[in-house]
């Protein structure tokens, strides 16, 4: 162990910093409000810590308002059901058909909040961050030892730190959601499974049947938290069967099933439904049950059932999704998790590949394809996400594609170069990034990347209502992808359109119910001086020099649209960019003007034929 003293001191120092931050940050003040699904997990962790149950009650509302003035905004709740068990032929086979009760329960998996509850009891909300700090430190330690089994200590440490800190993953440290928790469990399960495949003389409990059973227990737990992880166990069992270790295979499968099934049974016996996201389920924002005596589950909230999931996706869109899954502007794996892409390339180029590496490669690849085909319009986690939060469950697997590293400098440099371009702005301000998850992708190098139009209704920029599904009189929906416009507004003369910032390029999406033959763009120069304006649509580009106050009509072939399909309804998306050379601030042009914006052009778009809405 003395040979590892230096690297372990580095990891210990990082762990100390993480623990110090976790215990001292004023989380409610820094966060300001909940984002993503944090309200549910926060409230559930406090309920388990202080009430010892999973019921949502008046006391839970009071606790949340003590720290967050907007309350548990975004919380998911469901009605309980009396136990009357029966067997069916459909998953999950064992269900309760008893009547609904008036008790309310949290409609998310409880295991993350349960793990955080002891720390919350001791340290309050900061206890959830303390759990993150301890888990991440354990992962860094395990990752170092895994790589050190085949590499020099310095190389092992550098690659371990780079793999995690040159990705978007650390930003989730301040998210009160299971993303980082799941990542750590997937990683630790893989470590207990695979460390003995690399180390020459692994110590107990990292060797033999013991390590396999620990791995199975961890993966059973994380599969309950995120059911997509059920396929993690497949390569594990395949490797054991390949080696004809039949009894070991049965034991590993039994432990995995015991932990997975036990947690779902706990959900069934607690709330009367094994599916924590099924049944009579709602999400709440602004007003909440028990907030006042007149507010109930029935007269507040928005129904959010997930018993039926749309999984059909035409293959023409699937092929685009696979491409965008890797390099998309808002979710691309190679953009937000470049070390995973580097590890994949290193594995594919390596000469000596072990069977376990091929199996890990297979399940990681299958997991990505499953996300694209199973959640075709939301394979990355919806509008409240940084990068692809669903990929956080697959990200750790790529670490275990690494073996002996012969040329470490190039992948290390490439990973940090990619991080400097794409994730440093997120990591430098994780709280701001959490509150405004699409903001980082509205400028800089992100504008070089294709937007995920197959996810148009769930892009992170949609968190700003001015940018999302704006209805225009000309029969189309407009989506604005950056901050170089201010959304829909009416101007006289000019009609209903939008302004474009001076000296910038604005991107917006025209979404219609029919394919277009032509897109007519009417551009008014509002810069107060001659302006050069360039307009691009899928069918081509055209530039005009426009005199002050003049309007130009630019007629362009619509070109090939990007098809969008949701619940069987197909529509068509056209990416439109408008570039202005200069602009002016009306406030500085005269006493009667109050507009402070730097305006370059006013744009009015007419799709042809008229698409309707």
CA separation for the pair 496, 466 (Å, rounded): 14
Exposure string over 82-102, b if 16+ CB within 10 A, otherwise e? eeeeeeeeeeeeebbeeeeee
Contact, 7 vs 114, CB < 8 A? Answer: no
Q: Would you state the pLDDT for residue 420?
A: 96
Q: Report the pLDDT value the prediction gives residue 85, as an integer from 0 to 100.
A: 86
Query: Which tokens in the block code for residue 184?
Result: 């750590």
Distance CA 313, CA 531 (A): 44
pLDDT band at 437 (very low <50, low <70, confident <90, very high): very high
pLDDT of residue 313: 64
For residue 96, what are the CA distances in angstroms to 54, 589, 613?
A: 18, 70, 43
Mean pLDDT, residues 592-606 taken together: 91
Q: Using CB atoms within 10 A of its CB, is residue 493 exposed (0-12), middle (13-18) or buried (19+)?
A: exposed
pLDDT bin (cut points 50, 70, 90) of residue 591 is low
Strand order in the sheet with 489-491: 489-491, 495-501, 599-608, 518-525, 551-557
The one-character DSSP state at 392 is G
Average pLDDT over residues 509-514: 95
Give 435-458 as a DSSP string. Answer: HSTTGGGGSGGGGGSPP-GGGGGG
When pLDDT is cut at 50, 70 and 90, the band that residue 3 belongs to is confident
Residue 2, pLDDT > 80, answer no
Length of the chain: 613
What mean pLDDT is reported for the chain? Answer: 93
Q: What is the pLDDT of residues 571-589, one digit of tens each?
A: 999 999 999 999 999 999 8
Beta-strand pair 302-303/281-284 = antiparallel
Is the predicted pLDDT of residue 305 greater than 70, yes or no? no
User: Who contacts 477 (Cβ-Cβ below 8 Å, separation ≥6)?
Assistant: 469, 470, 471, 510, 511, 512, 613
Instruction: Give the pLDDT of residue 378.
Output: 86
Count of C-beta atoms within a 10 Å radius of residue 388:
26
Longest CA–CA separation in the chain, Å: 86
Rounded CA-CA distance 301/286 in Å is 9
Residue 20 contacts by C-beta under 8 Å, 6 or more apart in sequence? none
Output the six-digit token pair for 128: 């959830």
State how far the Cα of 385 lies from the Cα of 403, in Å rounded to an integer.
Answer: 31
* Nearest Cα to Cα of residue 107 among 241, 256, 272, 282: 282
Cβ–Cβ < 8 Å for 347, 289: no
Tens digits of residue pLDDT in 336-376: 999 999 999 999 999 889 999 999 999 999 999 999 988 77
Alpha helix (H) residue ranges in 166-284: 179-198, 208-225, 233-242, 246-271
Which comes out higher in pLDDT, residue 249 or 96? 249
User: What integer pLDDT is reported at residue 569 of this predicted model?
Assistant: 85
Q: Which helix (DSSP H) or strand (DSSP E) does residue 100 occupy?
A: strand 100-106
Task: Determine phi and psi for 326, rounding to 5 degrees.
Answer: -95, -35
* Helix (H/G/I), strand (E/B), else coil: 560: coil
Mean pLDDT of all residues in 41-58: 98
Q: What is the mean pLDDT of residues 495-501?
A: 93
Q: What is the pLDDT of residue 310?
A: 58
Calpha distance 519→272 (Å, rounded): 54
Specify the 3-state DSSP secondary structure of 352.
coil
Beta bridge partners, 480, equal 508
* Owner of token pair 């206890």: 127
Whether the Cβ atoms of residue 273 and residue 267 lie closer than 8 Å to each other: yes
> Does residue 307 have a pLDDT over 70?
no
Residue 93 has a pLDDT of 82
Taking residues 295-319, what's their average pLDDT? 76
φ and ψ of 416, to 5 deg: -75, -30
Model confidence at 312: pLDDT above 80: no
Of residues 314 and 162, more confidently modeled = 162
Instruction: Encode pLDDT of 397-431 as tens digits.
Output: 999 999 999 899 999 999 999 999 999 999 999 99
pLDDT for res 91: 79
Helix axes 179-198, 111-123, angle to 10 degrees: 110
CA angle 379, 384, 390 (to 5 degrees): 35
Does the pLDDT at position 60 exceed 90?
Answer: yes
What is the model's pLDDT at position 566?
A: 77
Does residue 161 have a pLDDT over 80? yes
User: What's the pLDDT score for residue 395?
Assistant: 98
This prediction has a pTM of 0.94
What does residue 497 show for φ and ψ, rounded to 5 degrees?
-160, -140
How confident is residue 552, by pLDDT bands cut at 50, 70 and 90? very high
CA distance 269 to 282: 20
CA quadruple 545, 550, 556, 561: dihedral sign: positive
Sign of the torsion angle spanned by Cα atoms 246, 252, 257, 262: positive
Q: Mean pLDDT across the stretch 81-108?
A: 89
Domain positions in the chain are 179-277, 464-608
Look at the alpha carbons of 489, 495, 500, 505 in this order and tell me if their dihedral is positive or negative: positive
Under 8 Å CB-to-CB from 584, ≥6 apart: which residues?
502, 526, 527, 528, 529, 598, 599
Better pLDDT: 518 or 1:
518
The C-alpha atoms of residue 509 and residue 498 are separated, in whole angstroms, by 13
The Cα 575–Cα 474 span in angstroms is 16
Beta partners for residue 511, in sequence order: 477, 573
Structure tokens at 207: 């060797």
The CATH class of the 464-608 domain is mainly beta
SS3 505: strand
Higher pLDDT: 3 or 11? It is 11
């Amino acid at each position: 162990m003395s040979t590892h003293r230096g690297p372990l001191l580095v990891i210990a120092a990082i762990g100390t910093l993480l623990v110090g931050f976790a215990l001292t940050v004023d989380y409610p003040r820094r966060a300001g409000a909940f984002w993503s699904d944090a309200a549910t997990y926060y409230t559930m962790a406090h309920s388990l810590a202080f009430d010892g149950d999973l019921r949502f009650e008046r006391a839970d509302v009071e606790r949340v308002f003590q720290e967050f003035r907007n309350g548990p905004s975004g919380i998911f709740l469901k009605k309980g059901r009396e136990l009357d068990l029966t067997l069916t032929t459909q998953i999950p086979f064992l269900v309760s058909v008893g009547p609904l009760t008036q008790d309310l329960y949290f409609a998310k998996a409880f295991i993350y909040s349960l793990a955080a509850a002891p720390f919350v009891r001791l340290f309050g909300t900061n206890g959830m961050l303390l759990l993150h700090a301890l888990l991440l430190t354990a992962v860094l330690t395990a990752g170092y030892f895994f790589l050190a089994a085949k590499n020099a200590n310095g190389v092992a440490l550098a690659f371990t730190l780079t793999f995690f800190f040159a990705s978007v993953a650390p930003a989730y440290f301040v998210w009160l959601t299971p993303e980082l928790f799941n990542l750590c469990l997937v990683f630790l399960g893989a470590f207990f499974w695979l460390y003995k495949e690399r180390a020459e003389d692994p110590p107990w409990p990292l060797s033999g049947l013991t390590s396999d059973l620990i791995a199975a227990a961890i993966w059973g737990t994380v599969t309950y938290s995120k059911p997509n992880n059920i396929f993690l166990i497949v390569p594990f069992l395949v490797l054991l069967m390949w080696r004809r270790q039949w009894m070991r295979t049965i034991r590993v499968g039994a432990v995995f099933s015991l932990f997975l099934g036990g947690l779902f049974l706990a959900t069934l016996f607690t709330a009367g439904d094994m599916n924590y996201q099924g049944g009579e389920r709602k999400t709440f924002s602004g007003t909440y049950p028990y907030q006042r005596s007149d507010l109930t589950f029935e007269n507040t909230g928005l129904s959010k059932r997930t018993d039926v999931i749309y999984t059909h996706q035409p293959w023409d869109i699937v092929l685009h999704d696979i491409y965008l899954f890797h390099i998309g502007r808002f979710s691309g794996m190679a953009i937000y998790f470049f070390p995973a892409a580097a590890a994949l390339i290193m594995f594919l180029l390596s000469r000596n590949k072990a069977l376990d590496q091929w199996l890990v490669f297979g399940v990681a690849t299958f997991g990505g394809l499953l996300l694209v085909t199973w959640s075709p319009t939301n394979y990355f986690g919806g509008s409240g996400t940084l990068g692809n939060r669903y990929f956080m469950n697959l990200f750790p697997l790529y670490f275990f594609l690494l073996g002996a590293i012969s040329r470490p400098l190039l992948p290390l440099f490439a990973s940090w170069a990619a991080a400097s371009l794409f994730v440093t702005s997120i990591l430098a301000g994780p709280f701001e990034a959490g509150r405004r998850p699409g903001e980082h992708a509205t400028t800089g190098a992100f504008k070089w990347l294709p937007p995920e139009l197959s996810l148009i209704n769930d892009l992170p920029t949609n968190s700003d209502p001015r940018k999302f599904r704006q209805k225009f009189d000309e029969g189309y929906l407009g989506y604005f992808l950056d901050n170089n416009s201010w959304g829909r507004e009416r101007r006289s003369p000019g009609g209903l359109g939008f302004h474009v910032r001076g000296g910038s390029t604005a991107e917006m999406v025209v979404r219609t119910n029919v394919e277009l033959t032509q897109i007519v763009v009417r551009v008014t120069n509002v810069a107060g001086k001659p302006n050069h304006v360039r307009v691009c649509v899928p069918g081509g580009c055209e530039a005009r020099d426009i005199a002050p106050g003049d309007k130009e009509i630019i007629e362009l072939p619509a070109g090939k649209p990007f098809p969008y399909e949701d619940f069987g309804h197909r529509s068509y998306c056209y990416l439109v960019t408008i570039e202005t050379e200069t602009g002016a601030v009306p406030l500085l042009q005269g006493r009667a003007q109050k507009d402070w914006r730097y305006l370059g052009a006013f744009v009015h778009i007419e799709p042809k034929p008229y698409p309707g809405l």
